[in-house]
Amino acid sequence: MKLFSILLISILSLPGSFCFDKFEIIESTSQKWYGGQRDAGYGTYYEINIVPNANSESLKFDKIWIGEKYFEVSSYQKGKKIKNNTFSKGDTITININDRTVPNFSHQENTEKCLTEKHELPYKYQGKALLSFQYKDKSKYKEIEKFTILKELLYP
């Protein structure tokens, strides 16, 4: 019995054990875009589709680092465009980020969620992005290993 208990605890404590995952990332994509107007700028759209194993009362997505850039995030249910951060266990939710760059000749600033102040990475991660979330008011992180690259968008 003692051996069985030790074995069970060992298996459940393995990193990435599916029993304790708060959500599953089912798809993550990136898509470069270029504006047709001089002041439109250019950038990359990122989309992360997630199936949570908890509801929005327990699980909250709050920020992401892509490379060393920091963005605040909000989520919405797939098929709905209202970013209200409410979802139920098993819903498919989406997080969108627009990393926009405006040419220097324009005095506009990046108005998307990229913050101008410096936010230090919580730790050096190996993937393409680091998603920060709160689970029952405790900060946790999940690495996004890769983004599937979609065809570039050229706006008229």
**Domain that includes residue 104, residue range:** 22-154
Asked if residue 59 is part of any domain, the answer here is yes
Count of domains in the chain? 1
**Short-list 32, 45, 31, 43, CA closest to 108:** 43
The per-residue pLDDT for 2 is 56
Asked if residue 1 is part of any domain, the answer here is no
- Residue numbers of the chain with a pLDDT score lower than 50: 7-8, 10-19, 106-108, 110-113, 116
- Predicted TM-score (pTM) of the model is 0.77
Asked if residue 16 is part of any domain, the answer here is no
**Short-list 21, 131, 143, CA closest to 71:** 131
Asked if residue 9 is part of any domain, the answer here is no
The per-residue pLDDT for 116 is 45
Asked if residue 4 is part of any domain, the answer here is no
Asked if residue 62 is part of any domain, the answer here is yes
